[in-house]
């Protein structure tokens, strides 16, 4: 389960950086962004979360505002995955090296 949660968290981080990169290129490239190879790559990566955002929002929401819902979805998934990862490590006592590192970091923070 820890592996699944870690993969979900990493996937949400990749999506977040892809959305950020796409947004920066949207500002920089202007009208020629559709021919920009990097922008198109980011668009392919973020397409599933953008479709999900379009699916869950009412039709009255304009397409140009869908990206804010997509960012919110990615953020919620990232927070949930981080919380579950921490919860799994602290309650189940997993001897995974990542859990050991998380526990050591928390102990160092308590000492300060």
Q: Alpha-carbon distance 96 to 89, whole Å?
A: 8
Longest dimension (CA), the chain: 54
Q: Please, where are the H alpha helices in 1-112? A: 2-29, 37-56, 66-91, 97-111
* Calculated CA dihedral for residues 53, 55, 56, 61, nearest 10 degrees: 80
CA distance 22 to 44: 10
pLDDT of res. 90? 82
Q: Which residue has the higher pLDDT, 112 or 65?
A: 65
The answer to whether residues 106 and 23 touch, using CB atoms and an 8 Å cutoff, is no
Query: What integer best gives the mean pLDDT of the chain?
Result: 89
Q: Is the pLDDT assigned to residue 6 strictly greater than 70?
A: yes
The whole-model pTM stands at 0.82
Residue 112 has pLDDT above 90, yes or no: no
Position 93 confidence tier, pLDDT thresholds 50, 70, 90: low
CA gap 106, 72 in Å, rounded: 28
Judge whether residue 75 has pLDDT over 90. Answer: yes
pLDDT value of position 36: 87
């Amino acid at each position: 389960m820890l592996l699944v949660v870690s993969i979900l968290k990493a996937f949400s981080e990749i999506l977040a950086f892809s959305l950020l990169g796409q947004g920066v290129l949207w500002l920089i490239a202007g009208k020629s962004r559709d021919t920009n190879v990097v922008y198109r790559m980011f668009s392919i990566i973020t397409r599933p979360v953008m479709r999900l955002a379009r699916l869950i929002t009412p039709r009255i929401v304009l397409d140009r505002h869908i990206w804010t819902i997509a960012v919110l979805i990615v953020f919620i998934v990232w927070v949930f995955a981080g919380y579950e990862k921490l919860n799994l490590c602290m309650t189940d006592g997993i001897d995974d090296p990542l859990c050991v590192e998380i526990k050591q970091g928390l102990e160092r923070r308590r000492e300060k």
